[in-house]
Amino acid sequence: MTTPTLDVLAIGNAIVDIIGHCDDGFLTTHDCPKGHMRLVDQATISALYNDMGPSIEISGGSAANTAVGVAAFGGKAGFIGKIADDEFGRIFAHDIKSAGVSFAGKPQAGNVAPTSRSLILVTPDGERTMNTLLGISTELSDTELVPDMIASAKVLYLEGYLFDRPEAKAAFRKAMGIAKEAGREVALSLSDAFCVDRHRVEFKTLIAEGVDIIFANESEITSLYETKDFDRAAALAANDMKLAVLTRGSHGSVVLHAGKSISVPIDPVVKVVDTTGAGDLYAAGFLFGYTQGLGLAEAGRLASIAAAEIISHTGARPATSLKGLAATKGH
Amino acid sequence: MTTPTLDVLAIGNAIVDIIGHCDDGFLTTHDCPKGHMRLVDQATISALYNDMGPSIEISGGSAANTAVGVAAFGGKAGFIGKIADDEFGRIFAHDIKSAGVSFAGKPQAGNVAPTSRSLILVTPDGERTMNTLLGISTELSDTELVPDMIASAKVLYLEGYLFDRPEAKAAFRKAMGIAKEAGREVALSLSDAFCVDRHRVEFKTLIAEGVDIIFANESEITSLYETKDFDRAAALAANDMKLAVLTRGSHGSVVLHAGKSISVPIDPVVKVVDTTGAGDLYAAGFLFGYTQGLGLAEAGRLASIAAAEIISHTGARPATSLKGLAATKGH
């Protein structure tokens, strides 16, 4: 087992977020399930864009946000995802590289799907509802993997959102095999309760095949184990994996390991502006602390600090150095 | 003279802003004149983009920001500017239309320059420094004017930044002729001291030909009249035009009309985040109040409120309803 050169290597959708504001009625009228992500085609995203108000564009993508968050703490992060040779692809590549993340993606030219984008509608309560174009990033297959990068990272982090197409599922399995072969750990984010609902059996198979760490919120973990009882779902997750890291929104989070349960409080926020990226940045803070060898409670604290920073402004990329922010809070 | 259906018709560059942060050293290294706008070619903008940190994309353009600001106060605004049939063109058109501004621009397809963009570097003091690609918007000519729109607006607002190419200068003259013919007023924003320096004589000719209202900051108006004495420049401007609206940054602004000078205080801001659009939104507030028939002092107050809103967040488009914001402040 060689010495790892990356802390976290993330694999996920390469997305540029288009963020605007709306009221709850707009979501209802446009069949957008509040608080969730739905995959849409070009016609649907165009119609929605036409109807929504002014927006701003910020690089996003769940696992990509996590990789940027790890780098913003001073950690070494890499990202594998697929972009097209277009304006949004250039924006995505620029933003992730300039944030200090190793990004191996080569823009795909020719008659290909466009770089993925997500129309994110933020309601007055700060909740985000996402409509993601089935662009080129959902076509990731095992040929896009970079085995050396995967083998070089302490933790391989897989984004559940990507787990919709057979090619991506095969890519996840291959990446997991490379990581295991190199003696690394594998983390999985469940991403979305609907996504879990669509692929429950296969997620469970993937977990059984070697996921060490799971990141999920309350609705995702209860969907996975088909129970309404969070404590029961948490216990089942803890039994299935080395580490279960479960977030509960404003109620904080809980980390389960070796028969123990650690409660992690939230880091208070004056005003929740936009929850986009809350889970992604929580994972970033936790994985940074974990890969630096900090205790689980301390990793959880960094996770809460990162999540609080991201929900206090628009967009899912940190607006400040998380290393500096954590330092001001005594970490 | 028919009844006007628009309050303000603005003509200017159609730009998407790419906003990132840097320190003063970065500006020096990359020859960016702090606080100013410089026009750059594709190679320069690409090199700068490559070197700068993560950024976000928000629709901008000086006069376009002003039109959006007028609409955000509840006024009726229109905009004429030139976009290409590309991703940034679609973003610009979506954002200005969904903000409630009438936009007549048709995307130009084929082998044309791309939609204009400006790399905006914000330093820790909140000051913005702009590097604008000579894209398609700088190619505006009199064939792109929409005479009916111009004739229907109480005030025609011309963006000085656009005044660099002969075609644009001709377009300004033609637009001014249409407005005058319809009995409307013409406002000119001087935009940038370097821009004034390049075209001083022609700006003065344009003013003499019929500009009624001038918007300028201290460095622009003193550059126009080639004096270091602000009061002297202000007096000369007041003599040349019906209305001179002059901003002085954190020292507030002054409105000169009919031999009188009205001082307008700033609206205090807790923290200056990004000064991009401060002058544009000041003009929006003033023109909204002016076209509603409010007094000059009250128009100035609305101008200060709009400028304060825009510098308290990133980007030059209002993040809230300016009508609602003004109401909370008793206007």
Determine contact, residues A129/A120, Cβ cutoff 8 Å.
yes
Which chain B residue shows the shortest CA-CA distance from A56? B58
* pLDDT for residue A104: 86
Question: Which DSSP string do the residues of B221-283 spell out, in sequence order?
Answer: HHHHTT-S-HHHHHHHHHHHSSEEEEE-GGG-EEEEETTEEEEEPPPP-S-----TTHHHHHH
Check CB contact of B99 with chain A, cutoff 8 Å: yes
Check CB contact of A107 with chain B, cutoff 8 Å: no
- A 10 A CB-CB count for B47 gives 12
* pLDDT for residue A164: 85
* pLDDT for residue B266: 96
Strand order in the sheet with A116-122: A37-40, A128-133, A116-122, A15-21, A55-60, B55-60, B15-21, B116-122, B128-133, B37-40
Is residue A53 a part of any domain in this protein?
no
Is residue A1 a part of any domain in this protein?
no
Nearest to A81 by CA among A185, A9, A7: A9
CA pair distance B209, B225, nearest whole angstrom: 17
The values of phi and psi at residue A111, to 5°, are -85, 70
Nearest to B119 by CA among B23, B21, B32, B18: B18
How far is the alpha carbon of A103 from chain B, nearest alpha carbon, in Å?
Answer: 14
CA pair distance B330, A47, nearest whole angstrom: 38
Low-confidence ranges of chain B (pLDDT < 70): 1
- Cβ distance of B49 and A317 shorter than 8 Å: no
Residues of A in contact with B87 (CB under 8 A): 86-88
* Partner residue opposite A52 with nearest CB, options B52, B53, B98: B98
The values of phi and psi at residue A4, to 5°, are -70, 140
- Predicted model pTM: 0.95
Is residue B47 a part of any domain in this protein?
no
> How do residues B78-103 score in pLDDT, each as one tens digit?
999 999 999 999 999 999 999 999 99
Query: Which one-letter DSSP state was computed for residue B78?
Result: E
Is residue B51 a part of any domain in this protein?
no
Q: ∠ CA A295-A297-A302 to the nearest 5 degrees?
A: 95
Residues of B in contact with A315 (CB under 8 A): 56
Which chain A residue shows the shortest CA-CA distance from B21? A319
Residue with the two structure tokens 């409660």: A263
Per-residue pLDDT of chain A (331 residues; tens, 9 = 90+): 688 999 999 999 999 999 999 999 999 999 999 999 999 999 999 999 999 999 999 999 999 999 999 999 999 999 999 999 999 999 999 999 999 999 988 899 999 999 999 999 999 999 999 999 989 999 999 999 999 999 999 999 999 999 888 999 999 999 999 999 999 999 999 999 999 999 999 999 999 999 999 999 999 999 999 999 999 999 999 999 999 999 999 999 999 999 999 999 999 999 999 999 999 999 999 999 999 999 999 999 999 999 999 999 999 999 999 999 999 999 9
Check CB contact of B87 with chain A, cutoff 8 Å: yes
- Cβ distance of B54 and A317 shorter than 8 Å: yes
The tokens describing A264, both together, are: 């992690």
Is residue B122 a part of any domain in this protein?
no
Find the domain containing B313 and state its range.
6-13+65-107+141-328
Burial A241-268 (b: 16+ CB within 10 A, else e): bebbbbbbeeebbbbbeeeeeeebebbe
Taking all residues of chain B, what is their mean pLDDT, rounded to a whole number?
96
Residues of B in contact with A88 (CB under 8 A): 87
Give the E-state strand segments of chain A in sequence order: 6-11, 15-21, 37-40, 55-60, 77-80, 102-103, 116-122, 128-133, 153-159, 185-189, 213-217, 243-247, 253-257, 260-264
Which chain A residue shows the shortest CA-CA distance from B115? A87
Nearest to B285 by CA among B13, B75, B6: B75
How far is the alpha carbon of B53 from chain A, nearest alpha carbon, in Å?
Answer: 5
Please state the separation of Cα B81 from the chain's center in Å. Answer: 12
Is residue A307 a part of any domain in this protein?
yes
Amino acid identity at A66: T
- Among B22, B51, B55, the residue to mutate for chain A (most A Cβ within 10 A): B55
A313, with CB counted inside 10 A (0-12, 13-18, 19+), is middle
Check CB contact of A76 with chain B, cutoff 8 Å: no
CA pair distance A8, A291, nearest whole angstrom: 8
Residue with the two structure tokens 């075609």: B167
Residues of A in contact with B98 (CB under 8 A): 52-55
CA pair distance B104, B287, nearest whole angstrom: 21
Residues of A in contact with B55 (CB under 8 A): 94-95, 98
- Cβ distance of B53 and A87 shorter than 8 Å: no
- Cβ distance of B86 and A87 shorter than 8 Å: yes
B294 vs A124, A244, B291, B321, B331, CA distance in Å?
32, 62, 8, 19, 11
Q: What angle do the packed helices A200-210 and A166-181 form, to 10 degrees?
A: 10
CATH of the domain at A209: 3.40.1190.20
Question: In sequence order, what are the beta bridge partners of A255?
Answer: A245, A262
The values of phi and psi at residue B18, to 5°, are -115, 105
Is residue B162 a part of any domain in this protein?
yes
Residues of B in contact with A54 (CB under 8 A): 59, 68, 94-96, 98-99, 317
Determine contact, residues A69/A280, Cβ cutoff 8 Å.
yes
CA pair distance A290, A155, nearest whole angstrom: 9
- A 10 A CB-CB count for B324 gives 11
Check CB contact of A125 with chain B, cutoff 8 Å: no
Question: Within a 13 Å sphere around the CA of B135, how many CA atoms are in the beta-carbon half?
Answer: 28
* pLDDT for residue A207: 96
Is residue B282 a part of any domain in this protein?
yes
Query: Which one-letter DSSP state was computed for residue A165?
Result: S
The tokens describing B303, both together, are: 């101008």
Question: Which DSSP string do the residues of B123-189 spell out, in sequence order?
Answer: -TTS-EEEEEE--GGGG--GGG--HHHHHTEEEEEEEGGGTTSHHHHHHHHHHHHHHHHTT-EEEEE
* pLDDT for residue A28: 96
CA pair distance A139, A141, nearest whole angstrom: 6
Nearest to B160 by CA among B113, B116, B213: B213
Handedness of CA A313, A318, A320, A322 (dihedral sign): positive
A&B contacts, CB < 8 Å: 49
How far is the alpha carbon of A94 from chain B, nearest alpha carbon, in Å?
Answer: 7
CA pair distance A239, B129, nearest whole angstrom: 55
Check CB contact of A98 with chain B, cutoff 8 Å: yes
Which chain A residue shows the shortest CA-CA distance from B50? A94
The tokens describing B180, both together, are: 């005058």
* pLDDT for residue B282: 98
CA pair distance B196, B188, nearest whole angstrom: 12
Which chain B residue shows the shortest CA-CA distance from A88? B87
Number of structural domains in chain B? 1
CA pair distance B65, B316, nearest whole angstrom: 6
Residues of A in contact with B315 (CB under 8 A): 56
B101 vs A59, A214, B197, B276, CA distance in Å?
27, 47, 32, 20
Check CB contact of A58 with chain B, cutoff 8 Å: yes
- Give SS3 for A257: strand
Determine contact, residues A130/A122, Cβ cutoff 8 Å.
no
* Partner residue opposite B87 with nearest CB, options A55, A88, A317: A88
Residues of A in contact with B317 (CB under 8 A): 54
* Partner residue opposite B56 with nearest CB, options A52, A88, A315: A315
The tokens describing A244, both together, are: 């279960």
Check CB contact of B321 with chain A, cutoff 8 Å: no
- Among B98, B103, B271, B312, the residue to mutate for chain A (most A Cβ within 10 A): B98
